[in-house]
Amino acid sequence: KNEVEQSPQNLTAQEGEFITINCSYSVGISALHWLQQHPGGGIVSLFMLSSGKKKHGRLIATINIQEKHSSLHITASHPRDSAVYICAVTPEEYGNKLVFGAGTILRVKS
C-alpha cells in the first residue's frame, strides 16, 4: 500500500463544475503539498499546509490531521485547470523529503 493515496485517478468535468480531489496518507507528516503539473511541463506548488484550510483564487485546500486526509477543491472549473494534480507529504522523519501520490489527471471540457 502506498503511503499517499489519491482519488480519483482520472476526472473529467464540464466547465463551471465544482471539483474535489482527495488525498489520504498513512504516515505522520509535518506538511502536505498540492502540486499541479501541465503536460510536458514542470511542477507548480499550489499549497503547502499543515492544518486547517487555505484558499487561493478558485482553489481551496483543506487538511484533517487526525483523519490523515486532505482535499483540493476547484470552484467554477475552467479548461485551463486541466492538468495532473499531485498530493505529496513531508514525513515527520525526513524534513527534506517528499512522498508523492500517483496524481489525479483532470480534464475540464468546455
Partner 1 sequence: DTEVTQTPKHLVMGMTNKKSLKCEQHMGHRAMYWYKQKAKKPPELMFVYSYEKLSINESVPSRFSPECPNSSLLNLHLHALQPEDSALYLCASSHPRQRLNEKLFFGSGTQLSVL
* Residue 98: closest CA among 19, 38, 32, 16: 32
Number of residues that bind partner 1 (CB under 8 A): 25
Say how far apart CA 45 and CA 59 lie, in whole Å.
12
Whole-Å CA distances, 45 to 16, 34, 48: 23, 6, 8
Residue linked to cell 482519488 = 7
Which listed residue (1, 42, 66, 110) binds partner 1 by CB under 8 A? 42
Q: Closer CB to partner 1, residue 49 or residue 68?
A: 49
Contact stretch for partner 1 (CB under 8 A) within 12-20, 59-67, 70-78, 96-104: 96-104
Min. distance of Cβ 83 from partner 1 in angstroms?
13
- 83 is written with which cell numbers? 492538468
Which listed residue (17, 22, 24, 43) binds partner 1 by CB under 8 A? 43
Which listed residue (44, 64, 78, 109) binds partner 1 by CB under 8 A? 44
Instruction: Tell me if 13 sits within 8 A of 76, measured CB to CB.
Output: no
| Residue ranges binding partner 1 (CB under 8 A) | 30-31, 33, 35, 40-45, 47-48, 50, 86, 88, 90, 94-98, 100-103
